[in-house]
Structure 1
Amino acid sequence: MTVEHDGGPGAASGEAPARATRRRGAALEEAILRAAIEELDEVGYPSLTMDGVAARAGTAKNVIYRRWPSRAALCVAAYRRMLPAAPEDIPDTGDLRSDALAMLRRGNDRMSSPMGKILRELLADIQSDPERVREFREQLVRGNTGPWLTILARAAARGEAGPAALTPRVATVAVDLLRNEYAINGVATVPEDILAEIVDQVFLPLVRAHT
């Protein structure tokens, strides 16, 4: 069986690297993803090119295309690698409204950060690629649903919510509306009063309707 490898550092420039520097399998993939992350951080998604990633990774562009069929596919994989490995602490103030606001503020900070900008640019670019859209949405849903279900479960234990409210649809409505503020209104960050409106006018009434 042939094991795929690149030419090692210098391959993209046509140099003849030493055989010992050749990378294979996971090591090669990690080098490419790391290069893509660095390119996203330095030049942003709109300016990122496969040539730039190949040069930074010290490999050939066709090696990258054998793993990721497009720039968007590579950047979706790189973005997933940029996400925190460990889950953040879930707010536990003893009050559903306060917990929900804390969660939205955290999401707002993330969406207005450089990583949030990359996320928005990626989502805008991949709309014509159903597979990438599905992959990205599954990642977003997994990351958002668990913490919100946790704060709802705690609220139910305190009598602030009923068991019928513990559904992914109810749990993620607030963060979905937050994301829409960025996607539709193009804001740089969402003001505090809008976060409060999302919680007070939509999220809490929806939870109470399921109580």
Structure 2
Amino acid sequence: MAIFDPVERESTPSIIAGKLRTAIGRGQIPAGSQLGETELAKELGVSRGPLREAMQRLTQEGLLISIRNRGLFVITMTEEEVRDMYVARTAVERAASELILQKNAQDVAGQLLRIVKSMKKAADKGDVDAMSEADMEYHSTLVAAAESPRLSRMHNTLLTETRMCLTALERRYPNPHARVEEHQAIADALAAGDQDLVGRLLITHMEDALERLTGGGHAAAATA
């Protein structure tokens, strides 16, 4: 009697969900948009079965909302939801950093510092898109390095919501090098093995981003 099932590659619904998640995060499918099954299935070259399963996953993650008799829509984040998202991100990233500090902090810090260099190059050029990509890579690398599947699953959804905020956030950083310095400081503290400092810097980093997003009082500024 076999003990294990055969190892399978990533399922089609999982791949579709990833594509939709990325498109939502990048604003290619804007907040508040309705998702049409027929159009999406045709564009993705898939049948409706795996597409529906993928959209159900995103509904469970909270990125899509089902409105009775109308269909599925991309969420529009309110100011309160943006605040809650940053609370969750802070908790996940602090937990990840604590795990990293127990094993391979120097290696992870080196990876993060290489990403910081990419951020600095993008900041020097004023390349907003490259800055955003490097920013997302930095935080996803941090959490992935903790090697906790549950933290990574939670963080993937939170980063998609963060991407929905980034366009608005970019406009609120008059000096893009300030973002570089914040990420540099976190990586340096990780390299030094200073758990308390890493935690404080992550909290400050998240609070700063949140303040820039919501300080103007525009509740839905994060839907960009």
On whether the aligned pair clears a TM of 0.5, the verdict is: no
Q: Which has the higher contact order (CA 8 A, sep 6+)?
A: 2
Higher Cα Rg, which structure: 1
TM-score by length of 1: 0.31
Structure (1/2) with the larger strand percentage: 2
